[in-house]
Amino acid sequence: MAAYRLTADEEGKTHLEPYDLFDWPFENGPGDFKGVGGAVLGDASRVMLMRFEVGARPGFHRAVPSFGVVVAGEIVVTDSTGQDARLGVGDAIRVETTGRGGWRLGNRGDEMALLALVQMPPKRAAGEPSEA
């Protein structure tokens, strides 16, 4: 399984890099769950299942903080520098942009593709009010 991270710099340019999910800090459980770890990847605000028809390649758009897993087919992710990453079934991407960075998602495969995308609100600064 491959995983990637999409980040944005101060100017809003996005960058793709490999991301090792096993390097994430996992908490181990007690008793029967010893050796079974869990990691919180972010606070979910919305879960989407995105369908990409064969040949779909919409333009660049704003990438919001999220975590995605390909559940069918193949998705190609392109950052604002033009770098591509191909994600197959089970591959993941963690998007860590601030809202200024863009990305392009597409399907260059021979079958329909599905991406499960869990959107996560950006981290708030200390003392910043929450949206209610």
- Classify domain 3-21+42-119 at the CATH topology level: Jelly Rolls (2.60.120)
Q: Is 72 exposed, middle or buried (0-12, 13-18, 19+ CB in 10 A)?
A: middle
What are the extents of the domains in the chain? Answer: 3-21+42-119
92 pLDDT tier (thresholds 50, 70, 90): very high
CA 93 – CA 111 distance, rounded (Å): 20
Residue 18: pLDDT above 50? yes
Mean pLDDT of 18-39: 74
Placement of tokens 């609100």 in the chain: 121
Mean pLDDT of 60-79: 91
Average pLDDT, the chain: 84
- Other CB atoms within a 10 A radius of the CB of residue 119 amount to 17
Mean pLDDT of 83-102: 88
Of the two residues 91 and 36, the one the predictor is more confident about is: 91
Mean pLDDT of 18-33: 76
